[in-house]
Structure 1
Amino acid sequence: MHRPFLFSESPEMSDPLSEVVRLLHPGAAFANIISGKGNWAVRYFEYGLPSFCIMLEGSCQLTVDGHEPVTLCAGDFILLPTTPAFILSSFVPAPPVYLDPHQVASLHSEIRYGEQGGSPDMRAMGGAFLFDCADPGLLVSLLPSVVHVRESLRLSQLVQMVAEESAEQKPGSEFMLSRLPELLLVEAMRSAAAGSAPPGLLRGLADERLARALRQMHERIAHAWSIDELAKIAVLSRSVFFERFTRLVGVAPMQYLLAWRMAVAKDLLRGDQLSVSEVAERVGYGSTSTFSVAFNRHVGQPPSHYARS
């Protein structure tokens, strides 16, 4: 069931990363143990949704379509925001076995690659996120197409908790599986921000001065912001702020503010609890007609149609 994202203009400083993760509404996650022995290779078809993998023992090779092969060792974490087709293999691969990720997602037992008997050469935990919202592009805009984090104890612990809750179904497991994905996503995003994040919110938040302006834009979404006002918050000149924001975040400040307002508006409209005029006021528009024009231009349909669909 969709839970609308509700923001508040409180005196406390806003946390944009937490707000974005809540807006994604990760509803649950699942994870299975996978293992391999001998010479083997599997090719997964495109999945289209975010998936992850953490290496527990040994090593193997990951080749995502359009990317160079990556060696995965014990402790390594991989997040694929859109999960294109990929090959997972030993270092001396055999002819690949083709697998449908949607069918594998329905399995609740260990998945074995290569030789079926004996101790495995590698063990990993692989899984995927299930989202309540219909805006996965928000995650794609924040992260590289392949997030590779080496030796993350925190991510390893979180994935193992997801696997245990998925497999054991103890009392309270449904609640745990609705909260663990949020923690997993935040930790993965933090790790990505410290590495090769593309231009976007993560890069902006990693810049101390831009982070001040971004937090204010999120905290006071309905405020009539100007470039001069935001530059003053960042303690930068107008021109330096504009150039730095555009380079690191990937869009100009007012474009970012518009995109964030539209993302929040879409979520509020999906919640079916507010009228179009109320949503317009929440996200900083003085009139319903002005909001409707902006929403239609950004989303491709009027807000009233979007709410019904």
Structure 2
Amino acid sequence: MINHPAFFSVSPEMGDPLSEVVRLLHPSAAFANIISGKGNWAVRYTEYGLPSFCIMLEGSCLLTVDGHEPIIISAGDFILLPTTPAFTLSSFVPAPPVFLDPFKVASEHRELRYGDGEGTPEMRSLGGAFLFDCADPGLLVSLLPTVVHVRDSVRLSQLVQMVGEESAGQKPGSEFMLSRLAELLLVEAIRSVTAGNAPPGLLQGLADERLAHALNAIHARVDHAWTIDELAKRAALSRSVFFERFSRRVGMAPMAYLLAWRMAIAKDLLRGNELSVSEIAERVGYSSTSAFSVAFSRHVGITPGRFTRASSSE
């Protein structure tokens, strides 16, 4: 777990950037299936492209994600793949892989059995995926490494098991429960990533106590006309040191981050189609609709109006 105080000591007037990112993702649901195996087996999943997760309930197996060294996952381990590239899951003795389509598996909501179908399984896990209702699912990818491997997290285990129960039960209120559980699961998984193995981005920035003050200020007042000097003062750093440190740890310059966050909020508000373009422009810190439209078009590639129409037709 992350022990950096920047994650938890947010002053009352400041926002909580991590919570804001998860809210902006709009996780609408999560589902999970029981997966078990016995004997010698291997399954090969094609690229899924969406975030998926697995928690090992009993036994162990081998996970080989394309582009990464194989890792052993054992009882209590949690795996999160933010983009779910192609991967192989197998027993420790090599076996010819069975090829599976992750989209088909995701739609079936049943127990999956690998290898020998008879007798008590040697490995049991819960595997599933997140469903998002947002304009920018890439926000999650920007926070996390390609493979998140957490060992012995009781909280993650409990959350995933609750997802599994809700997925299987389909009781009244399940849709609401699954969306809230998805939010909790995402936050807990993100918290488990240390700044040391996170890519440059928000997590690395928040883990830096000085930069966290500037990031919290940006998120708390996205409509403010921030300058490098103001943000450097928030971080108690010189202008040059702040700029270099922010750019290195967050992966982009301070003003580029401010623009990216403004555009992420703008896309979410445009997709909601409840505010006018001029109201959204004001919300994200632009003094005129034309200035906002120009900035949005340059950043996103289409005008705010076209973005709204495209979102409405999805």
Q: TM-score, normalised by structure 2?
A: 0.93
Question: Partners in 2 of 1:152 and 1:16 — Cα distance?
Answer: 23
1:273 aligned residue: 274
2:22 aligned residue: 21
Q: Is the 8 A contact 2:50 2:82 kept in 1?
A: yes
TM alignment of 1:220-235, pairs within 5 A: 220-235=221-236
The alpha carbon displacement at 1:194 in A equals: 4.9
Question: Partners in 2 of 1:93 and 1:104 — Cα distance?
Answer: 23
Q: Is the 8 A contact 2:228 2:243 kept in 1?
A: yes
What secondary structure, in the 3-state scheme, does the structure 2 residue paired with 1:66 have? coil
Counterpart amino acid of 1:39?
N
Q: Is the 8 A contact 2:59 2:74 kept in 1?
A: yes
Q: Is the 8 A contact 2:79 2:147 kept in 1?
A: yes
The alpha carbon displacement at 1:109 in A equals: 2.0
Counterpart amino acid of 2:246?
F
In the alignment, structure 1 residue 291 sits paired with structure 2 residue 292: yes
Question: Partners in 1 of 2:293 and 2:137 — Cα distance?
Answer: 23
Q: Is the 8 A contact 2:14 2:219 kept in 1?
A: no
Question: Partners in 2 of 1:176 and 1:156 — Cα distance?
Answer: 17
TM alignment of 1:237-256, pairs within 5 A: 237-256=238-257
Question: Partners in 1 of 2:12 and 2:116 — Cα distance?
Answer: 60
The alpha carbon displacement at 1:155 in A equals: 0.6
2:6 aligned residue: none
- CA-based RMSD of the aligned residues comes to 1.2
Instruction: Provide closer, same or farther for how the CA distance between residues 58 and 11 of structure 1 changes in structure 2, counting only shifts above 3 A.
Output: closer
Moved over 2 A (4+): 10-13
Counterpart amino acid of 1:233?
R
State the Cα deviation string for residues 149-203 of structure 1 (Å, max 9, x = none).
1111111110000000111122322211111000000011111135511100011
Q: Is the 8 A contact 2:56 2:77 kept in 1?
A: yes
Question: Partners in 2 of 1:51 and 1:186 — Cα distance?
Answer: 14
TM alignment of 1:68-217, pairs within 5 A: 68-217=69-218
Q: Is the 8 A contact 2:135 2:271 kept in 1?
A: no
Counterpart amino acid of 2:159?
L
State the Cα deviation string for residues 193-250 of structure 1 (Å, max 9, x = none).
3551110001111111111110110000000001111111111111111111111101
What secondary structure, in the 3-state scheme, does the structure 2 residue paired with 1:192 have? coil
Gap regions ≥5 residues in structure 2: 1-10
Gap regions ≥5 residues in structure 1: 1-9
Q: How many residues align?
A: 300
Question: Partners in 2 of 1:287 and 1:213 — Cα distance?
Answer: 25
What secondary structure, in the 3-state scheme, does the structure 2 residue paired with 1:106 have? helix
TM alignment of 1:41-52, pairs within 5 A: 41-52=42-53
Question: Partners in 2 of 1:248 and 1:108 — Cα distance?
Answer: 40
